Structure 1
Amino acid sequence: MISLTPLKTLQNIEFRNLLTGRFFIVLAFRMLATLLGWWVYQLTKDPFSIGLIGLSEVIPAVSCALYAGHVIDMNEKKKLLLICTYLYVFLIGLLLIPAFYNVELHFSGHEITYYIYGVIFFTGIVRAFIGPIVPSMIPKIVQKVNLPSAITLNQATFLISSVCGHAAGGFLIGLVGVKWTLIVIVSLISIASLFFWNLNKQFSEHKKDEIKVLESMREGISYIFKTKEILGALCLDMFAVLFGGAVAMIPVFATDILKSGAEGFGLLNAASDIGSMIIITTLSIIPLRKNQGKILLFVVAGFGLCIIGFGLSHYYWLSFMFLVLSGMLDGISVVIRGTIVQLKTPDHIRGRVLSVNSIFIMSSNEMGQFESGLAAKLMGVVKSVVFGGSMTLLIALIVATTNPKLRKMQY
């Protein structure tokens, strides 16, 4: 049955501004991720160095996430969002120094790599705050009846911008090089800030001295552990993506196995997001009506099979299709998980719960990147990807047998 709810939700001007700003900022972030993976691998020719990019960001991001949730719940959200956006502009701008002046300053490849890790460490701190802010603002902007549709549209926006960002990053690197691609990235984040300025202020429901920091953080963690559906969905996503992070090794596959060059790398890097965009756009029109918990478990298992297929493939278009299918399955997982978290979380604790959620997401994505780099170094690239897909299948089976509430979940 086709739903008209997404069209009604998009009539909300403030919601459109939030989504448009998020589109530009995620576009920039995905271009940056694509650029950094390519840049660092060209500097070092070491797959493990790609994994260290994720590690250098996830350590500060996870370390600050619980405190960030407290700050978000206790302060005005629009101001925090703008501060984080402009901090990103400054930090990414620092990468222009080695990009433009490495010859004059006589930087070696390893020195530039260490400098990149240092900058990304500080962006990780900012990410701990900016990650939960946008989803925490949505329930105050749209009516509750439109919330599932708004969550799906938010994810669709994220994935469309991811597709464009990955592909554009690869094409721009090949066309104008690293330094001018960085200029485009900084410009896109600045454009995002213009849309964020048009949002209404969202003040805290708490008084400044109402709740202590440690008590506040503990409340967010406690709520997730008491709500088994949320805990199961987050654990499933974290461990599945942790072991199924084949995307981190795409620079190696594109360069050494598939021989596709920078342009082919950009398209390959966007493949999973293309699949996710297709399925999430479909779900915004024809939403899932029942058995969401069982569907979540099946799509995660299918995701693992696709990662195994990608690791074993030596043909560019077959590898591309495996990644597209993995993205479609992951897109279903993202919609179900995001809806569960939002619908089962009350407003007064939303920032803290979403910050804990961001820990799971960051742990899976960035630690998955590190795990992929380490496994590639120890086992070889192909074996490491096949191992990761196999572990994803195992995780889906374990969660299915140990969390009956998630298995029976419907909304």
Structure 2
Amino acid sequence: MPDLSLSALLRQRAFVRMWFARLFGTTGNQMLMVAVGWQMYDLTHSAWDLGLVGLYQFVPALLLTLVAGHVADRVHRGHIVAACLATQGLAAITLVLGTQGGWASRELLLAVSVALGVARAFQMPAQQALTPMLVPPAMLPRAMALSSAGMQSAIIGGPALGGVIFVAGASAVYATCAVLFLIGGVLVGGLRYGHTPAPREPVTVQSLLAGVSFIWQRKPVLGAVSLDLFAVLLGGATALLPMYAKDILHTGPWGLGLLRAAPAVGALVTSVVLTRWPLERRVGRTLLLAVGLYGVCMLVFGVSRDIRLSMLVLAISGGADMVSVVVRQTLVQLETPDGMRGRVSAVNSVFIGASNQLGEFESGATAALFGPVGSVVLGGIGTLLVAAAWTRLFPSLARRDRMA
């Protein structure tokens, strides 16, 4: 039998290079966004402009994702990721020069946000589709969990590191980001794997939408992707955490920081556990139960008045979400032939981005009507109903036993 242990996975040199490249790249991106947000608010003192930073990244990513998926199926994916990291590194260097030269402005920060959005649009599909090329299929669930552990570590540590370095000024943060992007680009740019480009067919609407068609025809994949979309859309409470911290839990900025970190901590712990003990049986049922648990956590968080209980259920929700992420990503990659992985990963990226952005809007809109508690409780109930409905709508997903 082949060796499927964690040590065997770590002997896959190409995967390890990719893991560190993602770690450096994600850390750099997290640090960069902390510094850009702080500098924007320092320049304009406008919450609207802070929102524009995120919007200017999301719109180009949304518009270009399908094209980016088409490219990822035809060009060496490691080279695409390296080029995207290089683009982010150039953006960081531009901000260093602008900050030191005194010409950093609102317009420059928004222009950089657009460039980052374009880079991320091409990076995400290529990066997601690259991992299955670096490890044997049987090791993919463990590889996905280990990749998620690195991502969560960067998401937790990147902003904190950026905040510490910001004491020395925004230029110091941007320079550090440039170095991290450079290291990540060198690591991923030198990857070697069996690259077989998709056939050179004309670029048509049909070829661009091939990923959508592929997912639609495969009900287990459609069920997993759409389940995540609606769970995050209905059950997300991130946008309301400042209101909960101040008005309901009666804590300060430190409490808000703990609340925001709690889901990532739970996700990190769960990803480490899944790396050591990957899911092997009843994966469809586990996915649905994890989404149901996420909904229960949102219900408890919605009515909680104790910050310790709130942090605990947020951490559990992060762990449940990580189970969902690992199962969904592994199913998508295993069900998809290599020639389609870029376009299918692009559609997956659109679902993820839309659920996060629209979820924040949904939380804010329902909070304006029903208050923050009503918004979160209704979202938790909605998530539970979706998990129950998906059991009936996608029986092939509910009955799915193994990943492959």
Provide TM-score, normalisation by structure 1. Answer: 0.84
Query: 2-side partners of 1:169 and 1:255: how far apart?
Result: 25
What does residue 344 of structure 2 align with? 353
Cα contact 1:55–1:369 (8 A) shared by 2: no
Partner AA of 2:66 in structure 1: L
Q: Where do residues 127-138 of structure 1 align in structure 2 (5 Å cutoff)? A: 127-138=120-131
What does residue 395 of structure 1 align with? 386
Gap regions ≥5 residues in structure 1: none
1:276 has 2:262 as partner:
no
1:259 has 2:251 as partner:
yes
- Structure 1 position 99, deviation (Å): 6.3
1:90 has 2:81 as partner:
no
Distance 1:105 1:172, change over 3 A: closer
Q: Per the alignment, in what secondary structure is the counterpart of residue 132 of structure 1? A: helix
Which of residues 188, 198, 203 in structure 1 aligns to 2:190? 198
What does residue 6 of structure 2 align with? 6
Which of residues 202, 205, 218 in structure 1 aligns to 2:209? 218
Query: 2-side partners of 1:253 and 1:49: how far apart?
Result: 23
- Structure 1 position 280, deviation (Å): 1.5
Residues 179-207 of structure 1: CA deviation (Å, up to 9, x unaligned): 64444334322332232233126644234
- Structure 1 position 353, deviation (Å): 0.8
Distance 1:264 1:172, change over 3 A: farther
What does residue 61 of structure 1 align with? 61
Query: 2-side partners of 1:409 and 1:54: how far apart?
Result: 37
Residues 221-242 of structure 1: CA deviation (Å, up to 9, x unaligned): 1111000011010001011112
1:189 has 2:178 as partner:
no
1:407 has 2:375 as partner:
no
Cα contact 1:76–1:201 (8 A) shared by 2: no
Residue range with higher mean Cα deviation, 303-312 or 65-74? 303-312
Which of residues 137, 148, 154 in structure 1 aligns to 2:147? 154
Distance 1:144 1:231, change over 3 A: same
Cα contact 1:51–1:374 (8 A) shared by 2: no
Cα contact 1:171–1:266 (8 A) shared by 2: no
Cα contact 1:77–1:202 (8 A) shared by 2: no
Cα contact 1:296–1:332 (8 A) shared by 2: yes
Which of residues 315, 319, 329 in structure 2 aligns to 1:328? 319
What does residue 29 of structure 2 align with? 29
Cα contact 2:31–2:162 (8 A) shared by 1: yes
Q: Where do residues 63-142 of structure 1 align in structure 2 (5 Å cutoff)? A: 63-94=63-94, 112=106, 116-142=109-135
Cα contact 1:69–1:353 (8 A) shared by 2: yes
- Structure 1 position 40, deviation (Å): 6.6
- Structure 1 position 274, deviation (Å): 1.0
Query: 2-side partners of 1:179 and 1:370: how far apart?
Result: 33
Partner AA of 1:294 in structure 2: R
Cα contact 1:137–1:202 (8 A) shared by 2: no
Cα contact 1:54–1:366 (8 A) shared by 2: no
The percentage of aligned residue pairs carrying the same residue is 34
Residues 33-66 of structure 1: CA deviation (Å, up to 9, x unaligned): 55566777786575x7766554433322122111
Cα contact 1:51–1:369 (8 A) shared by 2: no
Query: 2-side partners of 1:35 and 1:258: how far apart?
Result: 27
Residues 151-195 of structure 1: CA deviation (Å, up to 9, x unaligned): 22222222222222244455556x556564444334322332232
Q: Per the alignment, in what secondary structure is the counterpart of residue 74 of structure 1? A: coil
Query: 2-side partners of 1:266 and 1:27: how far apart?
Result: 18
Residues 350-378 of structure 1: CA deviation (Å, up to 9, x unaligned): 11111111111111123323434444555
Cα contact 2:78–2:190 (8 A) shared by 1: no
- Structure 1 position 17, deviation (Å): 0.6
Distance 1:228 1:34, change over 3 A: farther
Partner AA of 1:389 in structure 2: G
1:307 has 2:307 as partner:
no
Cα contact 1:275–1:328 (8 A) shared by 2: yes
- Structure 1 position 120, deviation (Å): 2.6
Gap regions ≥5 residues in structure 2: none
Partner AA of 2:134 in structure 1: I
Distance 1:147 1:95, change over 3 A: same
Provide TM-score, normalisation by structure 2. Answer: 0.86
Query: 2-side partners of 1:273 and 1:350: how far apart?
Result: 27
Q: Per the alignment, in what secondary structure is the counterpart of residue 73 of structure 2? A: helix
Residues 276-315 of structure 1: CA deviation (Å, up to 9, x unaligned): 1111111121222322111111211221222333344444
How many residues align? The count is 398
Which of residues 126, 130, 138 in structure 2 aligns to 1:145? 138
Residues 101-141 of structure 1: CA deviation (Å, up to 9, x unaligned): 7xx6796xxxx4x7655533332222111001122122222
Residue range with higher mean Cα deviation, 384-393 or 340-349? 384-393
Partner AA of 2:341 in structure 1: R
